[in-house]
Structure 1
Amino acid sequence: MEQIRSVARPQVLEDGNWPARRTEILDWLVQRTSDERFIDVIFQQLCDRLVGAGLPLARATLHFRIENPQWFGARIIWREGIGQPEVTTFEHGTLDTVGYAGSPIAAVHDGQDEVRWDLKAGDADAAGSSLFGQLREEGLTDYVAWPLRHTLGRRHVVTFASDAPRGFSDEDLVLLFDLLPVLSLVSEIRLKNRLARTLLETYVGPHASEAILAGAITRGSGSTVAAAIMVCDLREFTHISDLWPRDDVIELLNSYFDAICEPIERHGGEILKFIGDGLLAIFPLDRPSACHDLLRSVAEARQAMDRLNAERLAEDRDELHYGVGIHVGDVMYGNIGSRRRLDFTVIGPAVNAASRLENLTKLVKRPVLVSKAFADMAECRLGLEDLGSYPLRGFGEEMQVFAFRDDWIVTADSA
Structure 2
Amino acid sequence: MVQPTEIRPQDVTSVDNEGIWPVRRSRVIDWLINETSNERYIDNIIVALCDKLVEAGVALDRCSVHFRTHHPQWHGARVLWRLGMTEAKITTFAYGVENSPQFVNSPINAVFQGAAEVRTELEELDEFDDYYAEFKQQGYTEYVAWPMHHTFGRRHVATFVTKRVGGFRESDIIALKDVLPALTLVTEIRTKNILARTMLETYVGPHASEQVLAGAITRGSGSTVSAAIMICDLRGFTHISDMWPRDDVIELLNAYFDAISEPIERHGGEILKFMGDGLLAIFPLDKDQACLDLLQAIREGREAINALNDANRDGARPHLDYGVGVHIGDVMYGNIGSRKRLDFTVIGPAVNIASRLETLTKQVKRPVLLSRAFVDMAGCEDIDRLGSFLLTGLDEPVEVFALR
Please name the residue that 1:8 is paired with.
none
2:101 aligned with 1:98: yes
Mapped partners of 1:94, 1:188: distance in 2: 23
Instruction: Give unpaired runs (5+ residues) of structure 1.
Output: 1-14, 406-415
Pick the aligned partner of 2:53 from 50, 55, 58.
50
**Which position in structure 1 is the counterpart of 2:310?**
310
Q: What pairs up with 1:149-298 in 2 under 5 angstroms? A: 149-298=149-298
Distance in 2, matches of 1:144 and 1:51, equals 16
- The worse-fitting range, judged by mean Cα deviation, of 313-322 and 266-275 is 313-322
- TM value normalised by structure 2: 0.94
Q: What's the secondary structure of 1:69's corresponding residue? A: coil
Question: Aligned partners of 1:20 and 1:130: how far apart in 2?
Answer: 35
Shift of 1:189: 0.7
Match of 1:134, SS? helix
Q: Does 1:60 align with 2:59?
A: no
Partner of 1:385: 384
Superposition deviation, residue 113 in structure 1: 0.6
Q: Which amino acid aligns with 1:386?
A: R
* Alignment partners' CA distance in 2, 1:22 and 1:344: 48
Most deviating of 79-88 and 200-209:
79-88
Deviation at 1:122, TM superposition (A): 3.1
Residue 117, structure 1, aligned to residue 149, structure 2: no
| Superimposed CA distance per residue, residues 298-322 of structure 1 (whole angstroms, 9 cap, x where no aligned partner) | 0100000000000111345431100
User: What amino acid is the match of 1:323?
Assistant: G
- Counterpart of 2:113, as a letter, is D
- 1:39 is aligned to 2:38: no
Deviation for aligned residue 1:203? 0.2
Partner of 2:375: 375
Given the two structures, how large is their TM-score scaled by the length of structure 1?
Answer: 0.92
1:409 corresponding residue in structure 2: none
SS of residue paired to 1:265: helix
Alignment partner, residue 85 of structure 1: 88
Whole-angstrom distance in 2 between the partners of 1:122 and 1:386: 76
Give the superposition deviation at 1:82: 2.4
The code of the aligned residue for 1:91 comes to A
Matched residues, number: 387
Q: Deviations over 1:14-50 (max 9, x none)?
A: x992100110000000000011111111001101111
For 1:384 and 1:16, the matched residues in 2 are separated by 76
C-alpha separation between the residues in 2 aligned to 1:355 and 1:328? Answer: 12
Identity %: 61
Instruction: Measure, in 1, the Cα distance between the counterparts of 2:152 and 2:371.
Output: 54
| In structure 2, C-alpha distance between the alignment counterparts of 1:186 and 1:314, rounded to whole Å | 54
Distance change >3 Å, CA 149–CA 298, structure 1 → 2: same
User: 1:397 corresponds to which residue?
Assistant: 396
Distance in 2 (alpha carbons) for counterparts of 1:358 and 1:152: 46
Aligned to 1:6: none
Any idea what SS the aligned residue of 1:113 has?
coil
Q: Aligned equivalents of 1:327 and 1:16: distance in 2?
A: 66
Provide the rounded CA distance (Å) in 2 between the counterparts of 1:19 and 1:54.
17
**Unaligned ranges ≥5, structure 2:** 1-17
Give the Å deviation of 1:155: 1.0
Deviations 1:77-112 (A, max 9, x none): 101112211111111111111001110001111111
1:145 corresponds to: 145
3-state SS of paired residue (1:19): coil
Q: Measure the CA separation in 1 of the matches of 2:317 and 2:183.
A: 53
Determine the C-alpha separation between the residues in 2 that align with 1:398 and 1:361: 16
Partner residue, 2:4:
none
Q: Which amino acid aligns with 2:304?
A: A
Q: 2: distance between equivalents of 1:36 and 1:257?
A: 37
Specify the alignment match of 1:20 in structure 2: 23
**Range with bigger deviation, 199-208 or 266-275:** 266-275
- Quote the Cα distance in structure 1 between the aligned partners of 2:96 and 2:270: 29
Find the aligned partners of 1:317 and 1:192 in 2 and give their Cα distance: 40
Q: What's the CA shift string for 1:129-183, capped at 9, x where partnerless?
A: 4221210101111111100011122210000001111221000110000011111
Where does 1:288-367 land on structure 2 (aligned, <5 Å)? 288-367=288-367
Look up the match of 1:410.
none
Cα RMSD of the aligned pairs, angstroms, is 1.2
Matched to 2:403, the amino acid is F
Per-residue Cα deviation, 1:223-264 (whole angstroms, up to 9, x for no partner): 000000000000011111122211111111101100000100
Amino acid across the alignment from 1:21: R
Other structure's SS at 2:38 match: coil
1:75 aligns with 2:78: yes
How many Å separate the matches in 1 of 2:187 and 2:373?
A: 50
Offset of residue 56 of structure 1: 1.6
